[in-house]
């Protein structure tokens, strides 16, 4: 069975997939990747299900040793990845030989990266998901963040199903910025806010504070005025919900958010903007823009259509180019006139 060795774990590296759905009524958060779009693109590049588990790393990336030949991809923030000390490209299928070392530098764009491998990581499924829920201590690899010396197994895939080389189209690669307008749907407790408070929320620029993690983002900026206090009867919390407690400073609920809460919610971030929010870090600036529910649905449908179309094209390419079960593949890293190339030679019977 293939596997990877964690040589250096980085700051916060965990296994995350599309999330643990259907258990919020029992107090279990969905969790999953902060930037689900980035994870999905990575999985498409290596022939996995869109929601298969991958490594999510934050701020400081890990150093990984491949213990077998492996197809992999790197998406999300730009951590300037290097394979055997040579720069490799993101958002395309890559190949590692046994003993190859993958490492990352400080991110120049975004703050969360994703490493996906063909077949996905072979860890226990807990309540329908392989995602790590750190506060609960379960899922992922032993319910914790990765550490030096961990060996993570990779699920075996048939030789005739190994992925072909694929590249994400430029227009589908997100551009992460330090200042971003995030679109929201106003509500559901909009009637609990002063008209001036709503205007403040939509006009002012907010900064991400240092109280920032997978559970939520606290923002710094102008106070949002309530009409009659911040407390309400506890109700369900959505991913991207924006609570405003008594101090008037917004809190955005992220992947590991609690399932219920008792603060007024002024708005909810729309689904297609959540990945951009996931890549922002303390000190980054946010402005909010109100859109209709119908517009949010249209944007999500447009994104989903593009992903499905790309997945279909990739699957067709795999069917056409897939080799025989007895095919042998060799990978070479070569330099020609100062430019580096990765050449895959496949021998077929």
According to the model, what pLDDT value does residue 318 have? 79
pLDDT at 87: 97
In a domain, 325, yes or no: no
Do 63 and 118 belong to one domain? yes
Q: Does residue 344 lie within any of the structural domains?
A: no
Q: Would you say residue 328 lies in a domain? A: no
Based on the fold, state whether residues 163 and 27 are members of the same structural domain: yes
Identify the pLDDT of residue 164.
86
Whether 132 maps to a domain, the answer reads: yes
Sign of CA dihedral 170, 89, 6, 124: positive
Do 18 and 110 fall within a single domain?
Answer: yes
User: 109 and 208 in one domain?
Assistant: no
User: Last residue of some domain: 121, 147, 175?
Assistant: 175
CATH number at residue 238: 2.40.100.10
DSSP-derived secondary structure letter, 13: E
The CA distance from 342 to 188, in Å, is 52
Contacts of 85 by beta carbon, 8 Å cutoff, 6+ apart: 101
Cis check for the bond before 209: say yes or no (omega within 30 of 0): no
Same domain, 39 and 88: yes
Nearest partner of 182 among 272, 294, 303, judged by Cα: 272
Q: Which of the listed residues 175, 194, 218 is the one where a domain comes to its end?
A: 175
CA–CA separation, 247 vs 238, rounded Å? 21
Are residues 265 and 120 both part of a single domain?
no
Residues 62 and 104 grouped into a single domain: yes
Same domain, residue pair 203 and 90: no
Residue 39 maps to a domain: yes
**pTM tops 0.85:** yes
Whether 115 maps to a domain, the answer reads: yes
Domain that holds residue 30: 3-175
Q: Are residues 167 and 195 in the same domain?
A: no
Domain boundary among 291, 320, 344: 291
CA neighbor of 205 nearest in space, from 181, 236, 241, 229 = 181
Q: Are 86 and 45 in contact (CB under 8 A)?
A: no
The shares of helix, strand and coil residues in the chain, as percent rounded to the nearest 5, are 20, 35, 45
Of 235, 240, 217, 31, the C-alpha closest to 135 is: 31
Q: What gap in Å lies between CA 49 and CA 129, rounded to an integer?
A: 13
- SS3 (DSSP) at 313: helix
Structure-block tokens of residue 342? 């990765």
In this structure, is residue 214 part of a structural domain?
A: yes
CA distance 320 to 322: 6
- Report how far residue 178's alpha carbon sits from residue 193's, in angstroms, rounded to the nearest whole number: 29
Sign of CA dihedral 92, 296, 176, 121: negative
Q: What pLDDT is attached to residue 348?
A: 46
Closest CA to 21 of 242, 213, 238: 238
Q: What is the count of structural domains for the chain? A: 2
Q: Is 67 among the domain residues?
A: yes
| Cα–Cα distance, 39 to 33 (Å, whole number) | 7
Question: Both 54 and 138 in a single domain?
Answer: yes
**Does 152 lie in the same domain as 228?**
no
For each of the chain's 349 residues, which pLDDT tens digit applies? 799 999 999 999 999 999 999 999 999 999 999 999 999 999 999 999 999 999 999 999 999 999 999 999 999 999 999 999 999 999 999 999 999 999 999 999 999 999 999 999 999 999 999 999 999 999 999 999 999 999 999 998 876 666 789 999 999 999 999 999 999 999 999 999 999 999 999 999 999 999 999 999 999 999 999 998 999 899 999 999 999 999 999 999 999 999 999 999 999 999 999 999 999 999 999 999 999 999 999 999 999 999 999 999 998 877 766 544 444 555 555 667 666 565 656 554 4
Same domain, 169 and 207: no
């Amino acid at each position: 069975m293939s596997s990877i060795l964690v040589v250096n774990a980085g700051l916060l590296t965990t296994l995350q997939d599309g999330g643990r759905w259907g258990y919020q009524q029992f107090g279990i958060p969905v969790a999953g990747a902060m930037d689900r779009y980035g994870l999905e693109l990575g999985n498409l590049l290596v022939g996995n299900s869109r929601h298969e588990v991958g490594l999510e790393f934050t701020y400081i990336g890990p150093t990984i040793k491949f213990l077998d030949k492996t197809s992999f991809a790197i998406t999300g923030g730009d951590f300037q990845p290097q394979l055997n000390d040579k720069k490799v490209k993101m958002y395309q299928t890559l190949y590692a030989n046994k003993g190859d070392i993958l490492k990352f530098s400080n991110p120049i764009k975004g703050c969360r990266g994703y490493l996906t491998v063909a077949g996905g990581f072979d860890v226990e499924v807990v309540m329908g998901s392989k995602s790590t829920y750190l506060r609960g201590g379960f899922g992922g690899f032993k319910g914790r963040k990765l550490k030096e010396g961990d060996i993570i197994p990779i699920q075996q895939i048939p030789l005739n199903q190994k992925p072909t080389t694929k590249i994400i189209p430029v227009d589908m690669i997100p551009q992460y910025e330090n200042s971003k307008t995030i679109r929201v749907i106003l509500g559901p407790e909009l009637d609990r806010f002063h008209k001036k408070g709503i205007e403040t929320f939509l006009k002012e620029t907010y900064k991400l504070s240092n109280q920032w993690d997978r559970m939520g983002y606290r923002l710094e900026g102008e106070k949002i005025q309530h009409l009659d206090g911040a407390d309400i009867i506890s109700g369900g919390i959505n991913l991207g919900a924006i609570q405003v407690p008594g101090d008037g400073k917004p809190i955005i609920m992220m992947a590991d958010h609690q399932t219920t809460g008792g603060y007024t919610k002024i708005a909810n971030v729309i689904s297609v903007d959540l990945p951009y929010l996931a890549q922002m870090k303390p000190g980054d600036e946010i402005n909010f823009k109100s859109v209709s529910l119908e517009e949010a649905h249209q944007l999500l449908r447009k994104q989903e259509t593009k992903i499905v179309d790309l997945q279909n094209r990739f699957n067709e390419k795999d069917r056409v180019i897939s080799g025989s079960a007895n095919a042998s593949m060799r990978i070479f890293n070569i330099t020609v006139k100062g430019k580096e190339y990765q050449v895959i030679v496949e021998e077929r019977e």
